Structures are given as structure tokens and as C-alpha cells.
A = this chain, B = another copy of it.
């Protein structure tokens, strides 16, 4: 019996959408006010979902306390109260769009989740805009 267990988490961060290899004009045209050179920011809300068989011993797919601790160490400690462009290695040369952030988070979590289980992350950049990544 395959069940999906999900855990919500959150972090706050600043970012700016732009490419250093583009002109200011092109960045402004493509990214508009998200290109403010002084940055803006978001309360990112994250839902992490793991799908797998229920362990008949415990009745758990995965202890959500363990999942919560993994999210804290891999995502919250790494991204919370950070400037994504300046403080986070993955975004030195990668535009921190919600899409790209969700892939970075998925990759960090994937390494910590049992191989036979599936992983999905949903990342809310605002309460009205969000992205979903399940691996390719």
C-alpha cells in the first residue's frame, strides 16, 4: 500500500532575478521589478512529499519528525534569512527563480530520502505563485 506523507516548512530569503551575462536593459525587460539591484524577498512556504510503502511495523511510510529534521538541516538552515544570490553557492551562476530553487531543494533532499521512495517538492514563492518539482 503506497501512501504519500507530506510536511510543510518555510524560510524567508531575499533574491533578485537577473543574469550577469545580460545587459541591464535586457534584465529589466525580461525580469521587470524582480530585477531590482537592491533585491526584494519572500516568505517561501515548502511542502515536501515522500511516497512509499507503509512499514507494517510502525505504520509509518517515514517518521515525519525525521523528515522535518532533514528539511531543517538541508533547506531551512541553508536558505533561511539568506540572500539567495549572494549567500548560496548554487545560485552564484543560476537565476534564483522559483523553478530553479525547487530543483535545488529537491536535489538536496533526494540524497537524504530512501531510494525506493518518490520525492516531490512544492514551493510557494507567494500565496498566489507556486511551483512543483518531482524529479524528471
Tell whether, in the assembled complex, residue A13 and residue B1 are in contact, meaning their CB atoms are under 8 Å apart: no
In the bound complex, residues from chain B placing their C-beta under 8 Å from that of A2 are 134, 136
Interface residues, chain A, CB within 8 Å of chain B? 1-8, 10, 12-15, 17, 19, 30-34, 36, 38-43, 45, 49, 54, 57-61, 64-65, 80-83, 86-87, 94-100, 102-103, 126-134, 136
Tell whether, in the assembled complex, residue A82 and residue B4 are in contact, meaning their CB atoms are under 8 Å apart: no
What's the nearest-Cβ distance from chain B to residue A59, in Å?
4
In the bound complex, residues from chain B placing their C-beta under 8 Å from that of A13 are 40-41
Cα A19 to Cα B57 with chains together (Å): 9
Tell whether, in the assembled complex, residue B136 and residue A80 are in contact, meaning their CB atoms are under 8 Å apart: no
